[in-house]
A and B are shown apart, each in its own frame.
Chain A
Amino acid sequence: MTIEQRAHPWMALSAPGALQQMLDEIGVKDVAAVFEQIPADHFRKAPLDLPPALGSEMELKRDLVSKLRKNEDCETNLSFLGAGVWQHHVPAVVDEIVGRTEFATNVWGSYQSDHGRNQAWFEFSSQLGALLNLDVVQLPVYSWGCAIGHAIRMATRLTGRRKVLLPVLSDPERLSVIRTYCQPSEMESHIEVVPVAADPTSGRLSISDLKSKLGPDVAAVYFENPAYLGTIENGAAEIARLAREAGAETIVGVDPISLGVMMAPGDYGADIVTGPVQPLGVHMHCGGGVGGFIASRDEERYVREYNGFLVSIAPTAEPGQVGFGLAASHQNSYGSREHGKDWTGNSTYLWAIAGAVYMSLLGPQGFREVGTLILSRARYAARLLNEIPGVKAVWPETGFKEFVVNFDDTGKTVEAVNDALRARGIFGGKDISGEGHGLGQAALYCVTEVHSAADIRRLADAVKEICQ
């Protein structure tokens, strides 16, 4: 094999003669000598057959951009997709900070050499804690579903019980992740996942069904506020009270962008709170923008069950100065291997920095404004769609930014409606007809601050045209 004579821009030692100089210093004849540990019959027989190298930045850029241009995006089109990833405005300053090479490439140094990053992390937890009214916020895990999974496992360790109750109207995407975390029933240590029925008139959790399923074997009750199908859980405090009476932990999932207008979960009895971090200044990234936080009160019994990184403020050797480091870190899998609490690894910590910048830009008034704007526009959209003959907003006036739209009386499937919308440059809501919720031909629409009144009217006009 002849090696390209030109040096590669990403490899200093690819310069002519550079590697040979090192070989001479080591005192070996050729490169093969440094691979002496590998037995001859271990080396691969199949030759590498990769696409040809794109040898220059120009060629690489052209390849990437020409491929990515085959995508349609939500800036050129008008999108009403949500359900786990939502289109929100990302301030330019967030992109600048997240793109800083010191943050983007960083792995680990010392508490001192990583000081700025650690402070940004602490500020993520601190600001999110202010929105949640809770004192402990862990750096985000892989996703919201993963956060819920860990929270349920925390609750089973705290209570010694192995059953979790959650709404039957759960997001199948998150629910699948939760089931993975709870293990298959063949395994001795599995956690039983039991659905709680919904009140058919409101989509909210059925309190009577919850009561009938609560008992001394229940580790936790999980619900979302707003829920998967957008509804606000007015009875949250009651659910938490019932769970506490049964000795179970109350785990809540919240949308952090709602917390300027919605009550902080710490104020209605939530024990462990989870939620997505993507709404806080992270692009959708085709689903690669997700991350999930876990939070609780500052009680040692909770803190001792976290799986990941808790950043604490701390004094330094210089009087009056503060630094940051990891609290209770021996309990994670880096510190304790298989004895740790679940496991941790690389996660989504860059999004903690995005979230810190985002929350500092919005401040209390910004969260109130964005919350009111989203709520008002979503309600407006639901009303406009509801006015279209055959189109029905299910559980009207109960949601925050998402709501279910039923198309049964139009005689059209959601798939057909969405295909027609797509031809008009609109991405309709997520098709939930096949999810077994008994809602017929239904779609989950998401409206946020990025949707103007004109955008919403454009949607309504298009739907009307399609469904006539």
Chain B
Amino acid sequence: MQIGVIVNPIAGMGGTVGLKGTDGPDAVAEALRRGAEAQSGPRARRALAILAKRCPRARLRVAAGSLGQCWASDLGLDLDVVSAGPPTGTARDTREAIAVLGAVDMVVFAGGDGTARDVAGALSSGAGMLGIPCGVKMHSGVFAVSPESAGHILADLVEGNGRAGWTDEAEVMDIDEVALRAGRLAPRLYGLARVPVVANRMQAAKGGPRRDSAAALAAAAHECARACEPGALYIVGPGSSAGAFARALGHEPTLLGVDVFRDGECLVQDATAPRIESFLDDRPVRIVLGVTGQQGFLLGRGNQQISADVIRRAGREGLRVLATEDKLSTLSAAALFVDTGDPDLDQELAGFIRVQTDRGRFMMMRVVAS
């Protein structure tokens, strides 16, 4: 297995000095001015040290200098160093480093959500990725829980001992940092990535990995779609969970947008707010939603196309929420948030709602006005 390593040397600098991230050169400069110290290099080294201990002479392809090589040398690893241009302190570094790494089976990177987005965007299709957690923002599902864990996962992959498998369903999320610094949390889904997953190695039968999330989601969506009310307007999306509903109706969903259905027919794809509103009549409105990873947003993040008027027409009873138990278990708070832009509506939506997790399976979740 050919593994590439990339370190985003400025990732995680913002956190220690009270910034919410280091996207963009201004933020980096501000972080340095505030006395930030780079976190990612040493953390990458911690992960690679575990790998080196378990798999001496493991072969890695690394970007030269502070983008990789500096942190991987003298560990007894077999490094194949490729050079990229001098670092610019911008997202371009990551993208160029990926380009010079060439054909690899996976890229292990040290960074945060921003880096993850850059890696995912530049990686050739079919290649995997794994994050060594270093960033301030880590909402994406591509990170190991610690540098050491990342090291063990890498070692498992190199050893080929069967402990690690793969999933293609990891969400790459990022938050709009401008909004975040203004005090508003706005996570967005940027796409899906292939990441290694360590099976819950069981001591015996009573533990073990859970049901395959993709199958559970498909079954939940299928049942939800089967229960479609004739004539009702179904506003679906965005995200892979709501998308499963569109698939169950036989349509390919717009992953990052909102699609609208009635009686199994797709009325419009990737609809805007006015377009959605144009379909409103006296028939019922149902909104099929997923949940944003970690933050647990139901409405108001990445789906602002669905306006307060439309939501009010549906009401809490008209929301159909799909999310697997795996997804719900990653939420940082055991609640779902709504921010429709209309505080009164947010209050009306607050309370407990049923989230469908599989065929015939629901989880009660608290809805909170954000």
Cα–Cα, bound, A114→B211 (Å)? 25
Give 12 pairs: A residue, B residue, CB < 8 Å, sorted on A. Answer: A108-B204, A109-B204, A111-B204, A326-B205, A329-B205, A330-B208, A334-B206, A336-B210, A338-B361, A339-B210, A339-B358, A339-B361
With beta carbons under 8 angstroms apart, the residue of B204, B205, B206, B216 that contacts A339 is B216
B88 within 8 A of A: no
A336 contacts which chain B residues (CB < 8 A)?
210-211
10 smallest CB-CB distances across A and B, nearest first, come from A335-B208, A339-B211, A108-B204, A336-B211, A330-B209, A334-B206, A110-B203, A329-B208, A326-B205, A339-B358
A296 within 8 A of B: no
B182 within 8 A of A: no
Which residues of B line the A interface, CB within 8 A? 202-212, 216, 358, 361
Q: Do B204 and A332 touch across chains, with their CB atoms under 8 A apart?
A: no
Q: Do B358 and A309 touch across chains, with their CB atoms under 8 A apart?
A: no
Q: Give the number of chain A interface residues (Cβ < 8 Å).
A: 18
Contact with B along A48-80 (1 / 0, CB 8 A): 000000000000000000000000000000000
Give the distance to chain A from B152, nearest Cβ to Cβ, in Å: 15
Interface set, chain A 95-139, CB cutoff 8 A to B? 108-111, 114
Give the distance to chain A from B245, nearest Cβ to Cβ, in Å: 19
Given A338-B361, A339-B358, A108-B211 contact (CB < 8 Å): no
Q: Do B211 and A110 touch across chains, with their CB atoms under 8 A apart?
A: no
Given A330-B209, A338-B361, A339-B358, A114-B216 contact (CB < 8 Å): no
Cα–Cα, bound, A111→B203 (Å)? 6
Contact with B along A305-337 (1 / 0, CB 8 A): 000010000000000000000100111101111
B206 contacts which chain A residues (CB < 8 A)?
108, 334
With beta carbons under 8 angstroms apart, the residue of B203, B205, B216, B358 that contacts A332 is B205
Q: Do B210 and A330 touch across chains, with their CB atoms under 8 A apart?
A: yes
A247 within 8 A of B: no
A425 within 8 A of B: no
Q: Do B210 and A114 touch across chains, with their CB atoms under 8 A apart?
A: no
A340 within 8 A of B: yes
Chain A, residue nearest B161 (CB): A317
Cα–Cα, bound, A114→B358 (Å)? 34
Q: Do B210 and A334 touch across chains, with their CB atoms under 8 A apart?
A: no
B207 contacts which chain A residues (CB < 8 A)?
334-335
Give the distance to chain A from B13, nearest Cβ to Cβ, in Å: 40
Cα–Cα, bound, A433→B204 (Å)? 48
Cα–Cα, bound, A114→B205 (Å)? 12
Give the distance to chain B from A116, nearest Cβ to Cβ, in Å: 14
B211 contacts which chain A residues (CB < 8 A)?
330-331, 335-337, 339-340
A110 contacts which chain B residues (CB < 8 A)?
203-204
Q: Do A334 and B361 touch across chains, with their CB atoms under 8 A apart?
A: no
Cα–Cα, bound, A344→B210 (Å)? 15
Give the distance to chain B from A79, nearest Cβ to Cβ, in Å: 37
Apart from the given pairs A108-B204, A330-B209, 7 other A-B contacts in the complex at a CB distance below 8 Å: A108-B205, A326-B202, A331-B211, A332-B205, A336-B211, A339-B216, A339-B361
Cα–Cα, bound, A251→B57 (Å)? 54
Give the distance to chain B from A202, nearest Cβ to Cβ, in Å: 44
Given A339-B216, A339-B361, A334-B209 contact (CB < 8 Å): no
Give the distance to chain A from B361, nearest Cβ to Cβ, in Å: 6
With beta carbons under 8 angstroms apart, the residue of B208, B212, B216 that contacts A334 is B208
Give the distance to chain A from B200, nearest Cβ to Cβ, in Å: 9
Cα–Cα, bound, A237→B204 (Å)? 39
Give the distance to chain A from B357, nearest Cβ to Cβ, in Å: 8
B202 contacts which chain A residues (CB < 8 A)?
326, 329
